Chain A
Amino acid sequence: MIKLVYLIPLFPMLGFLINGLGRNVLPKSVVGFIGSLTVLLSFILSLTIFFELNASQTKSFIVPLFDWISAGNLTIPFSFLLDPLSSLMLLIITGIGFLIHVYSTGYMHNDAGFAKFFSYLNLFIFFMLLLVLGSNYVIMFIGWEGVGLCSYLLIGFWFTNASYASAAKKAFVMNRIGDLGFLIAVFLIFTTFGSVEFAKIFPQAANMVSGDKILILITALLFVGAIGKSAQIPLFTWLPDAMAGPTPVSALIHAATMVTAGIYMISRSNILFTLAPQTLEVVSIIGLATAILGATIAVTQTDIKKVLAYSTVSQLGYMFLGLGVGAYTGAFFHVITHAFFKALLFLGAGSVIHAMSNEQDMRHMGGLKKKLPITFLTMMIGTVAIAGLPPFAGFFSKDEILAHVYEHNKILWIIGVIGAVFTSFYMFRMLFLTFSGTFRGTHEQEHHLHESPKSMTIPLIILAVLSAIGGFIGIPEVLGGKHWLAGFLSPVFGSSSSIMGESGLDHTTEFILMGVSVAGALAALLFAYTRYVKNAHVPVGDQVKRNALAKISLNKYYVDEIYAALITRPLDALSRFFFKVVDKAGIDGIVNGLGSGANEASKGFRLLQAGNVGFYLFMMVAGIIALLVYGFYKF
């Protein structure tokens, strides 16, 4: 079956082609069916391959297809790599992807661009699969940029809205900034190792000394790529804007899969990063800073999707924090659990928005739990999971990251826990504002309130189950588990962990750490409960004055404004300056000056042509005499 791995991306590609070409002829039911079926087929195949890989002795298979680019000593094969890491990513992408396709058949049912939407989604799945399957950095880069394109297309799905179109462009451009870093890293890798194939690079790298300058440069550049794709400081601002896209897109691309590509890429290159501790230090600091930044912005947002978006930014920050302290398994574990509960939360939010006739402001919601019981229950599971309360999925993964952080640096751990407390608070705030209390919207909206159709609730239920039990794939030893995930991924992270050394925390410490974070999350839950359920507090309007901290948080630290002032506007001014002054007046001025200079000179010289024969003759004779004189004196 492993030889058939190329079928996994091929199915969604076929779906893209069929739906894309037949978008005007195929009925919606057929479109939805094809779109979902192709992903389901990929999922089934991924599952088969996963079990085959699990049973197999060899843990890494390379499936070559054809030579893609070759020039001189550079050869880039189009080939796929199957190992525990990519097979898990396959399952997440196709599995959650399938659920979201099914959900979309309900959510997008009344949209005119139904077929277009499904073809884009399929295309996204195709590129995402290329990203994780590629056996070298360049194939990975195809997927890397391809998902950026799909993200562009889907954020700007309702392109007639100018601000949505701008958000799409912003996402693409910010991703491209990272992509340049990635690309230069690829060049550097090629010149250093003579290949871009993972299988050739990593064994060579493992023999290099830790802290090698080239490795630091490579990893730093790769990390720039990850910053763009996974929305870290300073390139995070596109992700909240990306919520302009339809909600299933936010769930699939901007929560579960694409934005975790950066974590996947670093996990894939873990050996390079392990040997570049300086880069890892930067990764952990940026990750933590992003985690805190996202969390502090999320606490004041009133748009339900914006809360989730900043929550995603924050959670991605935790994953990078985990990577930064060398907890590759923990970070990847969090990718998996986060995919479950954040997809769930977004889809739940989508269900709410669907019910509320496209209202996204939580100030107009409230009391929805009676009208939307399934959505409420599933979202509550998701909230508990992200808040890190045991035994739900988020608890295990977040705890594993925090334990490693504690081991690495106690101060980072304290900040991390504070961030986790914030997470718990803003998530329960969202849950309570939306579902408890009384309804605050219009009568029109209240009249239309309804639970979503089965095509939407079933994916919610499945994801809720996964969010509840997903953490059991990585129960740590301290809780009597075996940590199946760590064992499964050990072929990928093996050489890194042997360099880093084993976890040195004793069980008591681990219990205390868990206790602290759970207690913090519970305290935040209680606080949110008193504030939003007991006191029925509702966030005030945007125009109302509030204290400075809240204002900064509400306005997202004014980062967009700062970027506009520091980068966008100066560049535009520079552009106009270059065009009008340097190009038109300067360079072209010189060119035209040469022309008009010749013109002016001729205006002067032509006066010599006076038409007087005597003068001509005189000049002729004078010229001859001058030549004679010159001849005499020269020789």
Chain B
Amino acid sequence: MDKIFLVVLTPLLCALIAFIKGPAVKKWALAASLLPLAFSILLLSQFNADASTQFAVDYPWIPALGIHFKLGIDGISMILLLLTNLLVPLIILSSFKQEPKNPNAFYSLIFFMQAGLLVVFTALDGFLFYIGWEAALLPIYFICALWGSGDRIRINLKFFIYTIAGSLIMLIAIIYLHLQTPGHKYDIEAFYKLNLDPHTQAWIFWAFFLAFAIKMPIFPFHTWQPDTYTESPTAGTMLLSGIMLKMGIYGVIRWLIPVAPLGFAAWGQTVLILSVIGIVYASIIAFTQKDIKRLIAYSSIAHVGLIAAGIFAWNVQGLQGAMIQMLNHGINVVGMFFIADIIIRRLGTRELSQMGGIAKTAPQFAIAFLIILLGTVALPLTNGFIGEFLLLMGVYSYGIWYAAVAGLTIIFGAVYMFRMYQKVMLGTTNEHTSLFADIDGTEKTILLIICALVIIIGVYPQTILHISEAAVSNLVEVVNGKIQGFK
């Protein structure tokens, strides 16, 4: 049995077992979710940090259509694999306090989604990639629509249709590429080898970009996101913001730019400008948000905008920054939403105006909140700084003015985050917050793990950077070579 199957397919098995298992499923789910994590650490221990694709498997799946079940892991995939398998146990643990109704279906869907995500992050076949892409969408739709709050059906329908519209356009591009390849393949290598004319590449670029931009989301394709994040159950929000949006980013790195380098050369700047606008725009909107989850949602748009800007600047610093920032953003945003969840669960409201003074009644909670917040605002020696520093440096290498505007996130992030911290934690207590209990058992465990990661990655990021370094440099070189070759 190939090792990669252990990682990718275990969640699928877990999903089935979780569905048919008896009522005491949540502890079992947690234990089971540690398996993929253990396997991915095993893979990491055997991983060579060079540019090659490792643990590759390639089975013909639907040979008549040239579809292969082809998976493989390089440095870029490795980071996302770790991210996914690290966050899923945390997300499952974080749901313990909520006691979702019908837990079998709930955990089963989470595992199913994990399987889809892992396929996306390891697929080397365009069709398989698309299958994984949609397979990850279905469970999250049900998680958010069934366990959400408020106007959840309408909001999730919008999210679903919006994303699927994007992915269908991507499917057209994939099929087009498939038809262009000699021997009609879906293999990513075959896609890379295509030498399409710039005009074709331009529309392929946009077709892929739409799907990825909606998923991330990049301004102005972001409007599904705040509503969905706000009304979803916390586990759903964490899955969406922590892992799922990385599908879009990963797609850009793996499929969009290398497959359509000339399209990127022609339109990359436009996207970069959109990303930079998104950073400032979302940050400014976050200033006056009154709902804690919505505020975090807008901050996430700003942070993802910076990641996208770093990628579209297309240099080693920017991409390495994007890689490590994907991990960091996953950790931090899950932490932030967990913090929000604790507050909302205790107070029964999302309104910032009804909070205040919690730091007095829950000092440990205040410390954890502050550490995660510092990671989010990219204070040096926290993980966020490493990412934002490299990303901004990448953007800077593209153009100083882009960096100057994108860098506003440093200031604006501090404004809205500290404003939120002040409204929630500082000041005097009111009748709701004066009884706020400090964090306990599982909450402490989760926050401790997240805080530890925030600081460890911030102090010694080399371990992570090293994983993707070679793959990223190679990718940058190849794509730049193609662009140069055309000129």
Contacts and interface: CB of A to CB of B under 8 A. Distances in A.
Q: CB atoms of A and B under 8 A apart anywhere in the complex?
A: yes
Interface of A: 66-74, 138, 141-142, 144-146, 149, 152, 156, 159-162, 165-166, 169, 172-173, 176-177, 179-180, 183-184, 187-188, 190-191, 571-572, 574-576, 578-579, 582-583, 587-588, 591-592, 595
Interface in B404-426: 404, 407-408, 410-411, 414-415, 418-419, 422, 425-426
B422 A583 contact: no
Interface string B461-478: 110010001000100000
Q: Which A-B residue pairs are the 5 nearest by beta carbons?
A: A72-B316, A588-B223, A142-B380, A165-B426, A71-B320
Interface string B414-454: 11001100100111110000000000000000000000000
A173 B414 contact: yes
Contact of B419 (A138, A169, A177, A582): A169
A167 B281 CA distance: 26
Contact of B465 (A70, A152, A161): A70
A221 to B, nearest CB: 10
B360 interface: yes
Given A69-B386, A190-B393, A571-B287, A149 B379 contact: yes
Interface in B105-152: none
Contact of B289 (A160, A190, A579): A579
B257 interface: no
B426 A578 contact: no
Chain B CB within 10 A, most for which of A165, A172, A173, A190: A165
A187 B392 contact: yes
B400 A188 contact: yes
Chain B CB within 10 A, most for which of A161, A572, A579: A579
B404 A184 contact: yes
B460 A66 contact: yes
Contacts of B429: 160
Contacts of A579: 285, 288-289
Contacts of B315: 72
Contacts of A191: 396-397
B422 A165 contact: yes
A598 to B, nearest CB: 10
A623 B324 CA distance: 59
Contact of A71 (B162, B360, B465): B465
Contact of B288 (A74, A149, A160, A572): A572
A160 B396 contact: no
Contacts of B284: 571, 574-575, 578
B422 A160 contact: no
Contacts of A587: 220, 222-223
Interface string B309-324: 0000001110011000
Contacts of B461: 68-69
Given A71-B321, A173-B411, A574-B284, 20 more contacts: A69-B389, A70-B469, A72-B317, A74-B390, A141-B380, A146-B380, A159-B425, A161-B427, A165-B426, A165-B427, A172-B414, A173-B414, A180-B408, A183-B389, A184-B396, A187-B403, A575-B286, A579-B285, A579-B289, A595-B161
A160 B360 contact: yes
B381 interface: yes
Contacts of A149: 374, 379
27 contacts: A69-B465, A70-B462, A71-B321, A72-B316, A72-B317, A72-B320, A74-B393, A142-B380, A146-B379, A159-B425, A160-B426, A161-B427, A162-B427, A162-B428, A173-B415, A177-B411, A180-B404, A180-B410, A183-B392, A183-B407, A187-B396, A187-B397, A571-B284, A579-B289, A583-B285, A587-B223, A591-B158
Contacts of A582: 281
Given A160-B357, A160-B427, A572-B288, A176 B414 contact: yes
A591 B219 CA distance: 13
A72 B374 CA distance: 27
A576 B462 CA distance: 41
Interface in B201-228: 220, 222-224
A595 B407 contact: no
Contacts of A146: 379-381
B333 interface: no
A511 B433 CA distance: 66
B287 A591 contact: no
A179 B412 CA distance: 12
B380 A162 contact: no
B359 interface: yes
Chain A CB within 10 A, most for which of B286, B408, B415: B415
B469 to A, nearest CB: 7
Q: Would you call the interface of chain A mostly helix, strand, loop, or mixed?
A: helix
Contacts of A190: 393
Interface string B292-330: 000000000000000000000001110011000000000
B161 A578 contact: no
Given A172-B414, A592-B158, A180 B407 contact: yes
Contacts, number: 136
A145 B380 contact: yes
Contacts of B404: 180, 184
B403 A591 contact: no
Contact of B411 (A72, A73, A141, A180): A180
B428 A183 contact: no
Given A69-B386, A159-B359, A591-B224, A74 B427 contact: no
Contacts of A138: 389
A358 B458 CA distance: 40
A367 B267 CA distance: 75
Contacts of B386: 69
Contacts of B397: 187, 191
Chain A CB within 10 A, most for which of B287, B316, B357, B426: B426
Contacts of A169: 418-419, 422
B428 A160 contact: yes
Given A68-B462, A165-B426, A591-B162, A176 B403 contact: no
Contacts of B224: 591
A578 B379 contact: no
Given A149-B374, A162-B428, A595-B161, A575 B287 contact: yes
B418 A172 contact: yes
Given A69-B389, A184-B400, A575 B422 contact: no
A582 B223 CA distance: 11
A74 B393 CA distance: 10
B251 to A, nearest CB: 21
Contacts of A184: 396, 400, 403-404, 407
Contacts of B418: 152, 169, 172-173
Nearest to A158: B426
Interface string B357-388: 10110000000000000100001110001100
Contacts of B161: 595
Chain A CB within 10 A, most for which of B222, B390, B397, B414: B414
Chain B CB within 10 A, most for which of A69, A71, A142, A180: A71
B469 A71 contact: yes
Nearest to B410: A180
A181 to B, nearest CB: 9
Contacts of A166: 422
A241 to B, nearest CB: 14
A71 B414 contact: no
Nearest to A179: B410
A582 B281 CA distance: 10
Contacts of A588: 223
Contact of A183 (B316, B410, B419): B410
A74 B426 contact: no
A169 B287 CA distance: 14
Contacts of A595: 158, 161
Contacts of B281: 578, 582
A587 B392 CA distance: 27
Nearest to B395: A187
B104 to A, nearest CB: 33
B426 A156 contact: yes
B304 to A, nearest CB: 16
